[in-house]
């Protein structure tokens, strides 16, 4: 296995990419290639659009879901659990 001079251990923290798109967007493409139908094509297109929009706003998938969870939870956090109120 050849190691390039430009590689470094810090490169392990980068997001994997499949040419110009996120590697997670390539998984629905693999599903489409294994089962070529209209709904898998539309699913793959939807996921690619989702990941493109996330990348446009500099979000990763885990960061997006944390942001979505905090947005849905709201800004008021109670000190007591709701079942002991």
Give the global pTM.
0.65
CB 47 within 8 A of CB 25: yes
Q: Per-residue confidence at 3, pLDDT binned at 50, 70, 90?
A: low
User: What DSSP character marks residue 15?
Assistant: P
- Average pLDDT of span 75-85: 79
- Per-residue pLDDT of 12-62, as tens digits, reads 777 777 777 778 878 888 999 999 999 999 999 999 899 889 888 988 888
Check pLDDT > 80 for residue 85: no
Residues in the chain: 85
Check pLDDT > 60 for residue 1: no
């Amino acid at each position: 296995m050849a190691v390039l001079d430009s590689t470094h251990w810090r490169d392990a923290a980068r997001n994997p990419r499949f040419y110009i798109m996120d590697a997670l967007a390539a998984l629905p493409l693999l599903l489409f290639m294994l089962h070529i139908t209209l709904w898998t094509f539309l699913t793959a297109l939807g996921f690619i659009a989702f990941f493109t929009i996330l990348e446009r706003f500099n979000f990763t998938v885990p960061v997006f879901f944390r942001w979505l969870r905090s947005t849905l939870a709201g800004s008021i956090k109670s000190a007591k659990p709701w079942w002991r109120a």
